Amino acid sequence: MTELYRAHIIDVPADPPGSGAGLRSLEDGAIAVEDGVIRACDDYAALMQRYPQAQLHDWHGSILLPGLIDIHVHFPQLPIIGSMGMPLLTWLSERTLPAEAALNSEQNARPAARRFLRSLAANGTTTALVFGSHIAAAQRTFFEEAAASGLRICSGLSLGDRELPPPLLHNADQCYRSSRALIDRWHHFNGMRYAVTPRFSVSCSEAILEVCGSLMRETEGVLFQTHINENHDEVALVKRQFPWAEDYFATYERYGLTGPGCVYAHNLHPTESECRRMAAAAVSIAHCPSSNAFLGSGSFAMQRHLDYQIPFAVASDVGGGTGFSLFKEGLAAYEMQRQRDDGVALDPAALLHLITGAAAAILGIDDQVGSLDPGKQADFVIVNPPADGTLAAVIEAASTPAQKLGALFTLAREECTALTCVGGREVYRRAT
Ligand code: GUN
Ligand code: ZN
């Protein structure tokens, strides 16, 4: 059966005419969905003619975007969003890691997983690369709930054997065995993928990084995620912990933790040599602007990443980040670049690309998701702001699609998500 979703369609097609990221906008448009796949994306009238028998979902007056993709977000950290007043290392030791230790029972882990996944879907996020728990049972629970959620989830057990509270500490052998068991059970299950996840070099001895290298070599299609160059104190600590390493990136490089599908969060303070080697190693960066501002970690040299051709996308980094909304994160990215002398002039199309197509490419799934091109999975979000709110008034006043999209990035938040679908299946619908 064909289903037609009618709305104002906006995306950044995989191959926009001309160069760079350009908006496609169909004011009274629709997508035709069959078997969870987008068959056509065109004017509503044209698709009604082509599919006269289709079941119509009439969202006329709302905006339909591709499902949003968050390439860096922490499962255990929803409850500590908004923990103010601390820089990274204090925030971790005093607030975040103790909260992560609370996922030590099924009774705590399952509702936490459900709440987290619901928050993704409620914010229009359909695909996420999720930093997991250090606790293997909690991570297993997370995978169970992720499989049931219908979202496209990549995730992995957080690994570390030092600088962590006791319930989160595991030696290299335990890390290997727990990761291996989770990979064997969940990698490629229901479209999910496993990500090898050392927390950061600060909390990982060389034995742990070596385990990560082995897991990567042993497992086809596995992703990798960690943190790098986020905060000056952290960078200095890594220098003391790894005296042989010329810089932070070298601590990962030595163990083969590089290549496409390796996602490094932050990279606010890289050296020229690190940038050169990151580009050559084809790793990608998760740029998390609200977290960077909230923790006072620094500012992202986006132009330098463009110059070196290091791929990046915008991500939430909940709970250093201030929420799940990738619209808000796009606004934070925009504002951060406005503050810099070398700031990149981001327009709404570029921002949308950074939370859809660019993120899909980093995860190696841009043939399946990231835009509304025919042939792609029917992953989309319908944005419909409350009628009496500020955003509805701004959208009504907007005269171009780019202006509407700029208003969404600036004002749209969780309460504006009307419907989120993954592979044509509803994963969230706002209560009426
Ligand atoms: N570095 C190591 N762990 C974390 C974390 O949980 N959040 C952030 N922002 N940085 C980290
Ligand atoms: Zn993070």
**Crossing angle for the helix pair 172-186 and 136-149, nearest 10 degrees?**
20
Nearest ligand 1 atom, CA 227: 1
Distance (Å, rounded) from C-alpha 224 to C-alpha 200? 12
Tell me how far the alpha carbon of residue 423 lies from the centroid of ligand 1, in angstroms: 31
| pLDDT digits (tens), the chain, 432 positions | 999 999 999 999 976 544 456 999 999 999 999 999 999 999 999 999 999 999 999 999 999 999 999 999 999 999 999 999 999 999 999 999 999 999 999 999 999 999 999 999 999 999 999 999 999 999 999 999 999 999 999 999 999 999 999 999 999 999 999 999 999 999 999 999 999 999 999 999 999 999 999 999 999 999 999 999 999 999 999 999 999 999 999 999 999 999 999 999 999 999 999 999 999 999 999 999 999 999 999 999 999 999 999 999 999 999 999 999 999 999 999 999 999 999 999 999 999 999 999 999 999 999 999 999 999 999 999 999 999 999 999 999 999 999 999 999 999 999 999 999 999 999 999 998
The minimum-distance atom of ligand 1 relative to the CA of 203 is 2
* C-beta 200 within 6 A of ligand 1: yes
CA distance 93 to 102: 14
Strand ranges of the sheet holding 55-66, from the earlier edge strand across to the other edge: 37-43, 24-34, 3-11, 55-66, 380-383, 417-422, 425-429
pLDDT, residue 15, reads 64
Contact 322, 294 (CB under 8 A): yes
How close is the Cα of 273 to the center of ligand 2, in Å?
A: 23
> What atom of ligand 1 comes closest to residue 320's alpha carbon?
9
Whole-number Cα distances in Å, 82 to 79, 198, 227, 327:
9, 24, 20, 18
pLDDT of amino acid 432: 83
- What atom of ligand 1 comes closest to residue 230's alpha carbon? 10
Structural contact between residues 99 and 388, judged by C-beta atoms closer than 8 angstroms:
no
Q: Residues of 166-177 as b/e, b for ≥16 C-beta within 10 angstroms? A: eebebebeebbe
User: What pTM, to 2 d.p., does this model score?
Assistant: 0.98
User: Which ligand approaches the C-alpha of residue 235 most closely?
Assistant: 1
Quote the Cα angle for 179-181-187, to 5°. 80
| CATH class given for the domain over 68-324 | alpha beta
The finding on whether 291 has its CB within 6 A of some atom of ligand 1 is: yes
Residue 278 half-sphere exposure, CB side, CA atoms within 13 Å?
29
Q: Please, which residues bridge with residue 202 across strands? A: none
Q: Separation of 126 CA from ligand 1 center, angstroms?
A: 23
Tell me if 74 CB under 6 Å of ligand 1.
Answer: yes
In whole angstroms, what is the distance from residue 197 CA to residue 256 CA? 14
Pick from 90, 200, 263, 297 the residue to mutate for probing ligand 1's pocket: most ligand atoms within 8 Å of its CB. 200
* Token couple for 352: 């949308």
Tokens of residue 219, six digits: 């497992």
Is there an atom of ligand 1 within 6 Å of 96 CB? Answer: yes
Tell me how far the alpha carbon of residue 69 lies from the centroid of ligand 1, in angstroms: 19
Distance CA 315, CA 325 (A): 9
Name the residue with the closest Cα to ligand 1, atom 9: 320
Reduced DSSP (H G I as helix, E B as strand, rest coil) percent helix, strand, coil of the chain, to 5 = 40, 25, 35
380 DSSP assignment: E
Distance 173 CA to ligand 2 centre (A): 24
SS3 213: helix
In a mutational test of the pocket of ligand 1, which residue from 86, 92, 241, 288 has the highest number of ligand atoms less than 8 Å from its CB?
Answer: 92
- The SS3 of residue 265 is strand
- Structural fold of domain 3-67+369-429: Urease, subunit C; domain 1 (2.30.40)
Closest ligand by atom to 231 CA:
1
Cβ of 227 closer than 6 Å to ligand 1, yes or no, is yes
Question: Residue 124 has what pLDDT?
Answer: 98
From residue 277, give the alpha-carbon distance in Å to each of 73, 223, 247, 304.
Answer: 25, 19, 11, 13
Q: What is the Å distance from ligand 1's center to 241 Cα?
A: 17
Q: What CA–CA distance (Å, rounded) separates 43 from 419?
A: 21
Q: Which atom of ligand 1 lies nearest, measured to the CA of 74? A: 6
CB of 8 within 6 A of ligand 1: the answer is no
- C-alpha angle 308-226-328 in degrees, rounded to nearest 5: 75
- The domain limits of the chain are 3-67+369-429, 68-324
